Amino acid sequence: MESSLGQPNFISVLFFVIFVVLTLGITYWAAKKTKTSSEFYAAGRSITGFQNGLALSGDFMSAASFLGISGMVALKGYDGIIYAVGWLVGWPALMFLLAEPLRNLGKYTFADVLAFRLKQKPIRIVASIGGILVTITYSIAQIVGSGKLINLMFGLPYELAVVIVGGVMLMYVLFGGMIATTWVQIIKACLLLFGVTLLVILSLAQFGFSLENLFSEVETKFGRTALEPGGFAASPIDSISLGLALMFGLLGLPHILMRFYTVPDAKEARKSVAYATTFIGYFYIIIPIVGFAAAVLIGREQIAGIDKGGNMAAALLAELLGGTPFLGFIAAVAFATILAVVAGLTLAAASTISHDLYFNVFTEGKATEKEQVSVAKKATVVFSVVSILLGILFKDQNVAFMVGLAFAIAASGNFPALILSILWKNFSTLGGVFSILIGSVSATLFIIFSPTVWVDVFKFDQAIFPLKNPAIVSMSLAFLSAFIFSKLFPDENATARFESEKVRVYLGIGAE
């Protein structure tokens, strides 16, 4: 099959321009409503559970899931499915452990929860470090991925693509704050769910709407092994460690956690997770069908010929089944996906800098509304410029390890301190500080010493740390240090304030 991938294609550019114009229109509308800090960080707490559920799924279903998992299933078969499953299972955990307490305790960032009864300054500084490390590594991964993607799809130069993504996202966040970012996520989630559903229906039509026929075609073409687990199963500890990072990483991702402050109360927060789990679960159940159909209808060699990682499988399939217009649509959806995720990350980073560092640490809560919003906007610009520059710098790096790093730091640095501050009466400030520091630093070091970086990137023969993902070790270290330092350096104020925290966590009294 001849593909028009990689040529500037009129229809895909048109779809993309429509998306950008539409969302910038929303940003213009949102800009008029965004004056206070609550509107800038939390959309004035006016988002409904259903809307927030869609926005959460928009924040979470990145291009890595959409293009990456379909490509992985296309090239490697069953192992891609195992990966897809891992991306969903954090959501129920988020519901059981954090959704309601987060909404009831916090104002704008997850550090609010930690700082509720611990000492403001040290805990906010350390929590900001953890939060910014996660957002920056995750956004570099997204930006580098987007640059390559645009390059492959439209034939635009890498640097230009990165600057376009960075520039448009900056406008959403800068002018529209959380209101605009939320609506960008909602529109993107709808487009993505619609696009993938259409792709699945058109694919299944080729097999008489029968999964059985699809499976038997896969078997005849690639043999039985395509439908069976392969290399993924080789090391159980590695798989469990990856699973822990995927599951609990979600519970420490700042841009996901801050979405809980956009809804009015704990009940809506709960609804948000229920809707998000539904949309995301549906997405991960059907995405393997796209991968298998692409493998059969296009062929593994051709998919790998265009991109070694298989990232173009969904795009090629769209072109085959729906011609250039459908390819254009899917390309625009992929672009929109990256844009939306990066916008969410930027807003999370800007909130941390302005709310946690500037407002609560630097001015000790004395800054006016106007100053806060102005600092948040400056932080947005700085964070965007830094991530665009790093995106260009990391051009030829493998981004998979950065996504792994972001999840490992989130799971080991942010999650243990967050859950202990809600559950454990004797949790102390120093316990929190060391848990975050030891968790994030050990996760980062272990990733550098792991086979993914030490062998694949630095080309050493043997990795110093044997596991590909360190979560199982670094999370344990974080919990252990929280325990030891809380016992060694107890914090009477924190223990005393546990009572008022409880009234708020369980009854929601006093939550803004």
Partner 1 sequence: MKIKAHQLIESIEFKKLVRIRWTVSFVLLFFLFLNYYGFILIIALKKDWVTQKLGNGNYGLYAGASVILFSWFLTFVYVFWANRYYDQEVEVLKSKLESEAK
Query: What are the structure tokens assigned to 197, written together?
Result: 């559903």
d(CA 394, CA 392): 6
Cβ distance 383 to 133 under 8 Å?
A: no
**6 vs 90, 149, 157, 299, 302, CA distance in Å?**
36, 9, 11, 19, 14
d(CA 25, CA 28): 5
- The residue among 21, 61, 15 whose CA lies nearest residue 337 is 61
For the chain, how many residues are written?
A: 512
Provide the minimum distance between the beta carbon of 96 and partner 1 in the complex, in angstroms, as a whole number. 4
Judged by CB, which is closer to partner 1: 48, or 374?
A: 48
Judged by CB, which is closer to partner 1: 264, or 325?
A: 264
- Residues that contact partner 1, how many (by CB under 8 A): 55
Q: Which stretch binds partner 1 (CB under 8 A): 156-164, 336-344, 403-411, 503-511?
A: 503-511
- At residue 94, the 3 state secondary structure works out as helix
DSSP string, 345-389: HHHHHHHIIIIIIIIIIISTT---HHHHHHHHHHHHHHHHHHHHH
Cβ distance 291 to 73 under 8 Å?
A: yes
Judged by CB, which is closer to partner 1: 75, or 168?
A: 75
Judged by CB, which is closer to partner 1: 81, or 471?
A: 81
Q: Which stretch binds partner 1 (CB under 8 A): 93-101, 146-154, 345-353, 445-453?
A: 93-101
Of the candidate residues 19, 91, 138, 449, the single one contacting partner 1 (CB under 8 A): 91
Cβ distance 259 to 94 under 8 Å?
A: no
Judged by CB, which is closer to partner 1: 175, or 215?
A: 215
x/- mask, partner 1, residues 233-252, rule CB under 8 A, reads: xxxx--xx--x---x-----
Of the candidate residues 6, 14, 129, 219, the single one contacting partner 1 (CB under 8 A): 219
Place of tokens 């026929």: 213
Judged by CB, which is closer to partner 1: 95, or 455?
A: 95
d(CA 275, CA 279): 6
Provide the minimum distance between the beta carbon of 471 and partner 1 in the complex, in angstroms, as a whole number. 13
Judged by CB, which is closer to partner 1: 283, or 434?
A: 283
R_g (Cα) of the chain, nearest Å: 22
Provide the minimum distance between the beta carbon of 124 and partner 1 in the complex, in angstroms, as a whole number. 26
Of the candidate residues 10, 209, 489, 506, the single one contacting partner 1 (CB under 8 A): 506
Site for partner 1 in 108-147 (CB under 8 A): none
Judged by CB, which is closer to partner 1: 204, or 227?
A: 227
Site for partner 1 in 251-310 (CB under 8 A): 267, 270-271, 273-274, 277-278, 281, 284-285, 288
The residue type of 269 is: A
Provide the minimum distance between the beta carbon of 12 and partner 1 in the complex, in angstroms, as a whole number. 31
Neighbours of 483 (CB within 10 A): 17
DSSP string, 295-315: HHHT-HHHHHHH-TT-TTHHH
- The residue among 238, 276, 247, 280 whose CA lies nearest residue 407 is 247
DSSP annotation of 493 reads H
d(CA 496, CA 89): 35
Judged by CB, which is closer to partner 1: 39, or 100?
A: 100
Of the candidate residues 3, 4, 206, 216, the single one contacting partner 1 (CB under 8 A): 216
Provide the minimum distance between the beta carbon of 278 and partner 1 in the complex, in angstroms, as a whole number. 6
Site for partner 1 in 156-215 (CB under 8 A): 211-213, 215
Query: Interface with partner 1 includes 510 (CB under 8 A)?
Result: yes
Query: Interface with partner 1 includes 495 (CB under 8 A)?
Result: no
- The residue among 473, 470, 436 whose CA lies nearest residue 453 is 470
Of the candidate residues 31, 85, 437, 484, the single one contacting partner 1 (CB under 8 A): 85
Provide the minimum distance between the beta carbon of 462 and partner 1 in the complex, in angstroms, as a whole number. 23
Place of tokens 């600092």: 375
In the complex, the residues that contact partner 1 under the rule CB under 8 A are 78, 81-82, 84-86, 88-89, 91-93, 95-97, 100, 211-213, 215-216, 219, 224, 227-229, 232-236, 239-240, 243, 247, 267, 270-271, 273-274, 277-278, 281, 284-285, 288, 423, 499-500, 502-503, 506-510
